C-alpha cells in the first residue's frame, strides 16, 4: 500500500514538473488568454418571424451616438473605433466625387493625407487605406435600405449630410474593399450600400472609394 502511494506521488510530481514553469522563488501554471471578437447587432428591430434576427436582436449593442463627426473631414465609428473619410465617394485621380479602378483606389487611399478631400486631421500619407470587406460590412445597418446605413445616433436611417456625404451617387452605391476574392483573383469583394449585400467586382471596373484609418 505504501509502495503504491509512493509511486502515485512520484508520478504526480513528474506531471507537475512538466506543467509548471519556474519563475524566481515560485512556480506558476501557464495559461493562454482567450481573445474574443464580439459581433455587433445587425440593426434589425422589425421581426418577420418568431426567433428571427429582429425578434432576438443578438450581438453587441450599438453606442449612442453611433458616429461622431470630428469636424476635420473624418467621422469616427464609436462601435469599432475606425475613422472614416466623411466623403464616401472619391475619385483617386481628381480627388472629387466619382469612381476608380481597384488599383487606383488602393494607391489613392495610401497616398491620402491632410489637406486633401476636405481633411484637416493632420494625417500623413500611409495613415489611410482601402478598408477590408469586414470593415465595410461593419457599417451596414440591415434595418434599412437605400441606403443600408444608419444616422449619426444609430437610431434612424441615414440622410444626406448626416455623418457622411455622397453615400448614394449616380455612379452607384458599391464600394471597393481591399479583400481579394480567393476563388477568382481578378475580382475583389465589394459592399453595396443601397441594399447591404456583398458582391464580387472586376478589378478593372470603376467603383466608389471610401478610405479608412485606424483599427487593430
So where are the chain's domains?
1-31, 64-216
Angle at 209 between CA 201 and CA 164, to 5 degrees: 125
Cα separation, 132 vs 125, whole angstroms: 18
Residue 203: helix, strand or coil by DSSP?
coil
- Tens-place pLDDT, residues 171-203: 679 999 999 999 999 999 999 999 999 999 999
Q: What is the pLDDT of residue 17?
A: 41
Predicted local confidence at residue 175, as pLDDT: 95
Residue 210 has pLDDT above 90, yes or no: yes
Q: What is the pLDDT of residue 10?
A: 41
pLDDT tens by residue, 86-128: 999 865 445 556 789 999 999 999 999 999 999 999 999 999 9
CA dihedral in degrees (109, 100, 72, 124; nearest 10)? Answer: 20
Q: Which fold is adopted by the domain 64-216?
A: Mannose-Binding Protein A; Chain A (3.10.100)
At 52 the pLDDT is: 95
pLDDT of residue 160: 85
Q: How much is the pLDDT for 38?
A: 86
Confidence of residue 168 (pLDDT cuts 50, 70, 90): confident
pLDDT of residue 21: 45
- The residue-averaged pLDDT of 131-160 equals 96
* pTM score of the predicted model: 0.82
C-alpha distances in angstroms, 99 versus 2, 86, 152, 185?
A: 83, 16, 25, 21
pLDDT at residue number 188: 98
pLDDT tens digits for range 2-60: 444 443 434 444 334 434 444 455 555 555 556 777 899 999 999 999 999 999 999 99
Under 8 Å CB-to-CB from 103, ≥6 apart: which residues?
203
Rg (CA), the chain: 25
Amino acid at each position: 500500500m505504501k509502495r503504491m502511494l509512493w509511486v502515485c506521488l512520484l508520478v504526480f510530481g513528474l506531471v507537475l514538473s512538466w506543467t509548471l514553469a519556474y519563475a524566481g522563488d515560485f512556480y506558476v501554471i501557464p495559461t493562454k488568454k482567450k481573445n474574443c471578437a464580439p459581433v455587433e447587432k445587425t440593426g434589425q428591430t422589425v421581426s418577420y418571424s418568431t426567433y428571427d434576427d429582429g425578434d432576438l436582436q443578438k450581438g453587441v449593442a450599438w453606442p449612442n451616438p453611433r458616429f461622431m463627426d470630428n469636424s476635420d473631414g473624418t467621422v469616427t465609428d464609436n462601435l469599432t473605433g475606425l475613422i472614416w473619410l466623411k466623403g464616401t465617394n472619391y475619385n483617386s485621380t481628381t480627388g472629387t466625387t466619382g469612381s476608380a479602378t481597384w488599383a487606383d483606389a488602393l494607391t489613392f487611399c495610401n497616398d491620402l493625407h491632410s489637406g486633401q478631400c476636405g481633411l484637416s486631421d493632420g494625417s500623413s500619407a500611409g495613415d489611410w487605406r482601402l478598408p477590408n470587406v469586414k470593415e465595410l460590412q461593419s457599417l451596414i445597418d440591415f434595418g434599412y435600405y437605400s441606403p443600408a446605413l444608419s444616422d449619426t445616433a444609430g437610431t434612424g436611417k441615414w440622410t444626406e449630410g448626416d455623418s457622411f456625404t455622397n453615400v448614394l451617387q449616380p455612379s452607384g452605391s458599391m464600394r471597393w474593399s481591399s479583400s481579394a476574392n480567393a476563388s477568382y483573383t481578378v475580382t475583389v469583394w465589394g459592399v453595396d450600400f443601397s441594399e447591404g449585400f456583398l458582391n464580387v467586382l472586376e478589378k478593372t471596373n470603376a467603383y466608389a472609394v471610401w478610405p479608412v484609418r485606424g483599427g487593430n
